[in-house]
């Protein structure tokens, strides 16, 4: 909107805009939902349930045969775990007793067996069902401009603009702590009275596999055998998706004079301008790998842990946990929240 004034010598114009877009989730669109249960449509992501990765310190074939009779499961196979703690493998879904093609919320949601025309036929696959199809956004903006003509050859102008934008984005699935981000878990099975015993918190079938490992006399001491550490693969569904909330705040103001030169068709303009840009990014669900690996390696996956500065860390930080990380049980609650604020300002003269 705008108006003229002062006998037509002045003009003012103001524009105001407000835009808000609510999030749209993929679960709100049928073509996404149908794809999640389509056996010919691989998700391309990780399966959420926890897994044991044997590495080079493998369990015995006899222990594997006892868990998977007739399954022909090799010693280096990654072993996943059902909600009841029993073991299964992704290939063929051998031993899997959870839901298939179900979109009920939980750690085993949207699990399916891939069809014959995929690159991994008859293999368990899991879609991430919490992704956004359209990200939420809110924007406030203001623009104002005013002019005044002193004479036909001299005028003044001022201009102000302001823009505030808030956008929220999310990761594709939960943070993965697998492969190169895996955690190495010590064995807690000392015969010392009163010492923690991992037999009280690990699934029996995992204990059977760990205890079946044999010592390799040619390997470094403590790296093989039943008492050696083991590797945990864990997609961190208990902390939610990685979410970034970005807020940008930008304003600029300028004022100046302009006019005509008394010769030829030359014009001139002089103005002063000042502005500022403020950007803030807040993150949730973006977990510290170092803190996670430290906490999950404690007895009972960190239950009751209170440590203000873990030994061996390059800088001190507080680590505490009441319930322990829910490795083998799904607890749909936020365990860790991290935030980071970044302020950047540049001035020039």
Q: Is the pLDDT assigned to residue 341 strictly greater than 50?
A: no
Q: Residue 193 contacts by C-beta under 8 Å, 6 or more apart in sequence?
A: none
Q: What is the DSSP letter of 123?
A: B
Grouping H, G, I as helix, E, B as strand and the rest as coil, residue 20 is strand
Q: Is the pLDDT assigned to residue 337 strictly greater than 50?
A: no
Q: How many CB atoms lie within 10 A of CB 343?
A: 7
* Closest alpha carbon to 277 in 138, 146, 165: 165
* Closest alpha carbon to 51 in 19, 24, 80: 80
Angle at 215 between CA 214 and CA 221, to 5 degrees: 150
**Structure confidence at residue 126 as a pLDDT band (50, 70, 90):** very high
CA distances in angstroms from 177 to 27, 46, 182, 231, 237, listed in the order given: 25, 10, 5, 11, 10
Residues above pLDDT 90, as percent of the chain = 74
pLDDT of residue 188: 96
Torsion angle of the four alpha carbons 311, 312, 314, 319, in this order, in degrees rounded to the nearest 10:
-40
pLDDT of residue 315: 61
* Closest alpha carbon to 207 in 198, 216, 217, 194: 198
pLDDT tens-digit map of 132-176: 999 999 999 999 999 999 998 999 999 999 999 999 999 888 999
pLDDT tens-digit map of 9-62: 899 999 999 999 999 999 999 999 999 999 999 998 899 999 999 999 999 999
Q: Where are the beta strands (DSSP E) in 22-152?
A: 24-25, 51-53, 79-81, 87-88, 111-113, 124-126, 132-134, 137-149
Q: Where are the beta strands (DSSP E) in 261-291?
A: 267-284
Query: Environment class of residue 333 by beta-carbon count within 10 Å: exposed (0-12), middle (13-18) or buried (19+)?
Result: exposed
- Taking the complete model, does pTM exceed 0.75, yes or no? yes
pLDDT tens-digit map of 237-270: 988 899 999 999 999 999 999 999 988 889 999 9
Q: How many CB atoms lie within 10 A of CB 87?
A: 23
* Closest alpha carbon to 178 in 292, 64, 93: 292
pLDDT tens-digit map of 171-220: 888 999 888 899 999 999 988 988 999 999 999 999 999 999 999 999 99
Q: Where are the beta strands (DSSP E) in 127-204?
A: 132-134, 137-149, 154-170, 176-177, 183-185
Average pLDDT over residues 218-236: 95
- Give me the chain's average pLDDT, please: 90
**Structure confidence at residue 308 as a pLDDT band (50, 70, 90):** low
């Amino acid at each position: 909107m705008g108006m003229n004034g002062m006998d037509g010598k002045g003009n003012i114009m103001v524009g105001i805009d407000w835009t808000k877009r609510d999030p749209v989730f993929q679960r709100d669109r049928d073509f996404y939902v149908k794809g999640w249960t389509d056996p010919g449509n691989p998700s391309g992501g990780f399966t959420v349930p926890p897994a044991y990765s044997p590495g080079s310190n493998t369990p015995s074939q006899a222990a594997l045969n006892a868990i998977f009779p007739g399954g022909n499961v090799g010693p280096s196979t990654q072993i996943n775990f059902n909600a009841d703690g029993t073991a299964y493998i992704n290939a063929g879904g051998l031993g899997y007793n959870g839901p298939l093609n179900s979109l009920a919320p939980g750690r085993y949601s949207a699990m399916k067996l891939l069809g014959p025309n995929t690159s991994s036929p008859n293999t368990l696959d899991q879609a991430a069902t919490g992704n956004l199809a359209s990200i939420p956004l809110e924007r406030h903006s203001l623009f104002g401009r005013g002019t005044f003509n002193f004479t036909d050859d001299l005028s003044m102008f001022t201009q102000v603009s302001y823009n505030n934008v808030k956008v929220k984005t999310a990761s594709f699935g939960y943070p993965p702590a697998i492969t190169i981000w895996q955690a190495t878990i010590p064995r807690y099975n000392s015969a010392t009275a009163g010492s923690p015993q991992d037999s009280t918190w690990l699934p029996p079938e995992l204990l059977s596999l760990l205890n079946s490992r044999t010592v390799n006399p040619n390997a470094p001491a403590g790296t093989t055998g039943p008492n050696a550490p083991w590797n945990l693969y864990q997609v961190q569904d208990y902390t939610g998706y990685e979410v970034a909330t970005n807020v940008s705040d930008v304003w600029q103001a300028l004022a100046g004079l302009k006019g005509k030169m008394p010769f030829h068709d030359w014009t001139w303009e002089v103005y002063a301008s000042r502005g500022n840009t403020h950007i803030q990014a807040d993150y949730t669900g973006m977990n510290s790998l170092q803190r996670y690996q430290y906490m999950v390696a404690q007895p009972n996956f960190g239950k009751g842990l209170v440590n203000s500065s873990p030994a061996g860390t390059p800088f001190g930080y507080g680590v505490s946990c009441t319930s322990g990380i829910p490795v083998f049980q799904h607890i749909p609650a936020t365990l860790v929240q991290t935030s980071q604020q970044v302020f950047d300002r540049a001035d020039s003269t």
